[in-house]
Amino acid sequence: MTPTIATTDHGAIREIRLARAPVNALNPELCAALRTAIDDAVAQGVHGLILSGGPKVFSAGLDVPHLLTLPSRAELMAAWETFFAAARALAECPVPVVAAIAGHAPAGGCVLALCCDYRVMASGPFRIGLNETQVGLAAPEGIQRLMRRVVGTYRAERLLVAGELVDAERALAIGLVDELVDVDHVATRARVWLEELLPLPRTPMLTTRALARADLVAALHPDLIQLDRFIDAWSEPDTQAGLRALVAKLGK
């Protein structure tokens, strides 16, 4: 089986790279591997993490073609639960995590980035955002809260309702990402940010971080995701039409 995660250590910092070709579509295997990689890093005493993806696509989001093949509600529920477990692992990680976004990050890819402490994105023709409405889905309340906490309530509303993907320059301007660098230096800049943070007195820094991120962790509580309701909506005719249109577009 081809590995879906690659790791590289830089002293006390570990880079976890999504490595499921061609676009890091988030199927259950990749999501489970990401959660395991985070847990392993923490257990091994790593002080900071970098989450990276491909050079043109950080992650294209959930693997919709795979999800549409699942024959039962239970299997669909399990697949989505695996994704949210990976997102919670990032949100609850006890050490800082930087997203190194060297390409597009729509939908689930944006969710993973929003769960990180800091987002470094490649400058250029890359886009990021929660485009769920464009494919017939409604982002759960918890996911909407992730967007609100970084761009503000009104701007989040506009982006979420339209399902808008913004380019890198606008993402920086509205605070969706923290800085832009050349595509070849995204992971390096993410590491430098961590290297500047980690020399701080460890316990006060981590305690302050945990307090500051409590709302992020709370946003991913199952009560705010309401996965049952989300799965119910999955089978609605307009949702299925939007998802199948997306798959047809991907196949061209």
What's the predicted TM-score (pTM) here? 0.96
| Inter-residue contact 227 to 80 (CB < 8 Å) | yes
Q: Which residues contact 208 (CB under 8 A, 6 or more apart)?
A: none
For residues 119 and 176, what is the distance between their CA atoms, to the nearest angstrom? 8
Nearest in space to 107 (alpha carbons), one of 70, 64, 77: 64
pLDDT digits (tens, 9 = 90+) for 28-76: 999 999 999 999 999 999 999 999 999 999 999 999 999 999 999 999 9
- Omega before residue 201 within 30° of 0, cis: no
Which residue ranges form the domains of the chain, and what is each CATH number? 5-185+216-250 (3.90.226.10)
pLDDT per residue as tens digits for the range 127-179: 999 999 998 899 999 999 999 999 999 999 999 999 999 999 999 999 999 99
